[in-house]
Structure 1
Amino acid sequence: MANHALLNNIDHKDLHVITQRGAEYGDNQMLAVTFPAEFRDVQACYPIVFRKTTDGLGFEPVALFGFSEGENLFLEGDQWQAMYLPMMVERQPFLIGVNGDELMINIDLDSPRLSRTEGEAVFKPHGGSTPFLEQTNSLLAAIHQGLQQTPDFLAALLQYELLESFVLDVELDNGTQNRLVGFYTINEDRLAALDAAALATLHAGGHLKSIYMVLASLSNLRSLIDRMNYRHG
């Protein structure tokens, strides 16, 4: 269970953050939420798909790392084997807090990344922010700004009925069967059937580029299957 608190240089003056990768630090995750501003970097390494939000009322784009809960095929020991680390993974154990119009930095006090002796110091001895904390602040600001684009993007997809559910059945080289369910992708036939006015509207909103980034990312499903074959071979 997460234990969120507002970061401050009194209660957390000795806090350090372990930035090493590893399952013991929570990196054994199947996916991470992403957003249109990050799609260009994400699509170079991972499939981008959509899932229902936890309340079941909407959708959110995610970068896919594996085919089952707790499976990260990019994680080998303490190495994350991809050129790009998604922002929602990199930001751990920090979170964005909002107080009115002001953004705050929260921290998950139950995170295994926290230490009093190991890793990157969060505050200087006399209470100032370290370069690591300043970098984290910039990262969280970029995430917050990027997430603001997601509702408009999803609204456009739903307006033109471009989301469809899909099932991916995978038979590994060792004969085992695996199935990926519960996710959605872009319906390419509906996209191709859109008229010029609809395409112009999507382009004007900056959504057409994001759609094609999602479609391009699906080629990474093949490499994800190859990683799964290697791990279970």
Structure 2
Amino acid sequence: MSNPPMFGSVVPLDRELHKKLHLRTDLSTVDKIKELNSLFLTTVEFSEACKEFPIVFVRVGEAPKDGGKQAVAPLVVLGLKPGHNLFIKDGVWTADYAPAYVRRYPFMMAHIDDQGNMALCFDDQWAGFSETEGSALFAEDGQATEFLVNAKNFVESYERETERTRAACHELVQLGILQDMRFESSDEAGHKVDVDGFMTIDEKKLAELDDATIVRLHRNGLLALLEMHRISLGNMAKLAQLQLARKD
């Protein structure tokens, strides 16, 4: 099982093995994301995220050997250079919105076998876990506590939204309305920021879609998502100014 960003060691939660486990929720996870310049974003989050961050699309996975189109996924951009998260200052998250990817930590749903079965897992390297401090995950009778039930409900909801996001991105790929883009910016002193490797909506191809397709995209919510994506790109210039101000 490969570990996604933030997670050190993903372990399935077991009511017997981990019956004494507690979790402190007062510990900051900022150090886990301070070097992440982007994070996966579900489509349901676009409306909030577009107010502060650029939302872009990137190719994911391997290109199909049969010549099919490669899958894409939406990312929220947090920095314009590898290892730079511009929304963390002095160890504090400065944005108003925090992506659900971060808020679910230290839990996640993960595949546990080749049959596609999934289970609630946790990062057993996270310092917040112990057998003495914080909220208990299991009661004395072995049943999940209300704290754990709420955590499980959140990550299960996140997983459902992830599947909806994959379906939405698949439709965008099939329509062929995404294009490779490059962003460039500079300050008065001539310092430059160049970013590539991402995709955005191709306005020309979108405008060329037939009326029936446009109506379908409006009714299934994709047209609204594309507009939020388009609006979010205005935040790229704001990030560039933050990056240039750092001079690193």
Question: TM over 0.5: same fold?
Answer: yes
Distance 1:225 1:28 in 2: 17
In structure 2, C-alpha distance between the alignment counterparts of 1:113 and 1:92, rounded to whole Å: 12
2:77 and 2:95 mapped to 1: Cα distance? 12
Q: After superposition, what is the alpha-carbon deviation per residue over 1:60-112, rounded to whole angstroms, capped at 9, x for unaligned? A: 111110012221100113311111100011112211134668652101223x4
2: CA distance, partners of 1:196 / 1:91: 39
SS of the residue 1:83 aligns to: coil
Q: Is the 8 A contact 2:192 2:244 kept in 1?
A: no
Contact 1:66-1:73 at 8 Å conserved across structures: yes
**SS of aligned partner of 1:210:** helix
The percent of aligned pairs where both chains have the same amino acid is 23
Moved more, 43-52 or 54-63: 54-63
Question: 1:85 and 2:90 equivalent?
Answer: no
Q: How does 1:55-204 map to 2 (within 5 A)?
A: 55-56=62-63, 57-98=70-111, 103-110=118-125, 112-116=126-130, 120-123=134-137, 126=140, 129-172=144-187, 175-204=190-219
Alpha-carbon distance between aligned partners in 1 of 2:130 and 2:95, rounded to the nearest angstrom:
29
Structure 1 Cα separation of the partners of residues 100 and 38 of structure 2: 12
Contact 1:51–1:60 (8 Å) recurs in 2: yes
How much does 1:163 deviate?
Answer: 0.5
1: CA distance, partners of 2:136 / 2:40: 25
The count of aligned residue pairs is 231
Are the counterparts in 1 of residues 54 and 232 from structure 2 also a CA contact under 8 Å? Answer: yes
**CA-to-aligned-CA distance 1:204-224 (integer Å, 9 cap, x gap):** 332111111111111111221
SS of residue in 1 equivalent to 2:194: strand
C-alpha spacing 1:120/1:210, structure 2 compared with 1 (3 Å): farther
Counterparts of 1:21 and 1:161 in 2: how far apart (Å)? 38
Name the Cα RMSD after superposition: 2.7
Match of 2:66 in 1: none
Amino acid at match of 1:91: R
1:39 to 35, 38, 46: 46
Structure 1 Cα separation of the partners of residues 95 and 167 of structure 2: 29
1:210 matched to 2:220 = no
Q: Distance in 2 between matches of 1:117 and 1:75?
A: 31
* Residue number among 6, 23, 27 corresponding to 2:12 in the alignment: 6
Q: In 2, are the aligned partners of 1:46 and 1:217 still within 8 Å (CA)?
A: yes
State the TM-score, normalized to the length of structure 2.
Answer: 0.81
